[in-house]
């Protein structure tokens, strides 16, 4: 009888997973259609982003020419950040019911003794850049061997004496080595 109870739990879990998969598909469909817009400088600049937070439209009013280029740049960036934050909030609201539902379903490692909690072992992704990185000042590298050129030499420029070890001479006419004639005979 204990086995029937375990099979019933697994069947219930599978049905719950199927239900969640349907909900996830619906949420993904809705999330893909999300957009958000934000306006700055008294609606002189309006920026729209898609569900990924990527810029998909910029609208300028007739009064945008009263702004300087740095103000326009700052306005586009500020409106883009605000629109991206809005679309993220919309996505969070779509996902909230699913997260509540998932919180009520026991994790697989809770149901099967000895199974590790793989979710806890997932690496946390690093934060993405929100501003242009400031370039790091390059410091010259000192070489103890002498000057080193990072530019490749021209074809006719000799770069020291090059010598190769274990080089076999090649007869371009194929008249020399009988072993190579045998190997080459297979290509006919």
- Residue 125: its pLDDT value, please? 83
Which residue range forms the structural domain that includes residue 26?
Answer: 7-113
22-77 pLDDT, tens digit per residue, is 888 888 999 999 999 999 999 999 999 999 999 999 999 999 999 999 999 999 99
Q: Decide: helix, strand or coil at residue 51.
A: coil
For residue 188, being part of any structural domain is answered with no
CB 41 within 8 A of CB 14: no
For residue 66, being part of any structural domain is answered with yes
Q: What's the whole-model pTM score? A: 0.57
| Length reported for the chain | 188
Instruction: List the beta bridge partners of residue 49.
Output: 36, 55
- Residue 43: its pLDDT value, please? 96
Pairing of strands 35-40, 55-60: unpaired
CATH code (residue 73)? 3.30.1310.10
Give the strands of the sheet with 55-60, arranged side by side. Answer: 35-40, 45-50, 55-60
For residue 50, being part of any structural domain is answered with yes
150-186 pLDDT, tens digit per residue, is 555 555 555 556 666 676 776 666 555 555 555 555 5
Q: Can you tell me the distance from the alpha carbon of 96 to that of 122, in angstroms, rounded to the nearest whole number? A: 21
148: left (phi over 0), alpha (psi -120 to 50) or beta: beta
DSSP E strands, the chain: 35-40, 45-50, 55-60
For residue 158, being part of any structural domain is answered with no
For residue 181, being part of any structural domain is answered with no
- Residue 1: its pLDDT value, please? 43
For residue 84, being part of any structural domain is answered with yes
Q: Among 73-77, 103-107, 121-125, 162-166, name the most confident range.
A: 73-77
Q: How many domains does the chain have?
A: 1
For residue 168, being part of any structural domain is answered with no
For residue 152, being part of any structural domain is answered with no
Q: Can you tell me the distance from the alpha carbon of 97 to that of 71, in angstroms, rounded to the nearest whole number? A: 40
Q: Can you tell me the distance from the alpha carbon of 115 to that of 118, in angstroms, rounded to the nearest whole number? A: 9
């Amino acid at each position: 009888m204990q086995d029937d109870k375990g099979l019933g739990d697994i069947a219930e879990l599978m049905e719950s997973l199927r239900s969640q998969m349907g909900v996830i598909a619906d949420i993904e469909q809705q999330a893909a259609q999300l957009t958000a817009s934000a306006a700055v400088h008294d609606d002189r600049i309006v920026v729209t982003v898609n569900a990924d937070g990527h810029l998909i439209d910029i609208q300028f009013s007739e009064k945008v020419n009263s702004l300087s280029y740095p103000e326009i740049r700052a306005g586009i960036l500020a409106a883009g950040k605000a629109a991206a934050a809005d679309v993220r909030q919309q996505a969070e609201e779509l996902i909230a019911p699913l997260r509540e539902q998932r919180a009520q379903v026991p994790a697989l490692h809770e149901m099967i003794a000895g199974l590790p909690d793989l979710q806890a072992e997932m690496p946390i992704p690093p934060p993405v850049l929100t501003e242009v990185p400031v370039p790091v000042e390059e410091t010259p590298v000192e070489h103890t061997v002498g000057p080193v050129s990072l530019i490749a030499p021209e074809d006719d420029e000799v770069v020291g004496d090059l010598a190769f070890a274990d080089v076999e001479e090649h007869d371009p006419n194929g008249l020399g080595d009988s072993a190579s004639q045998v190997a080459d005979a297979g290509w006919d």
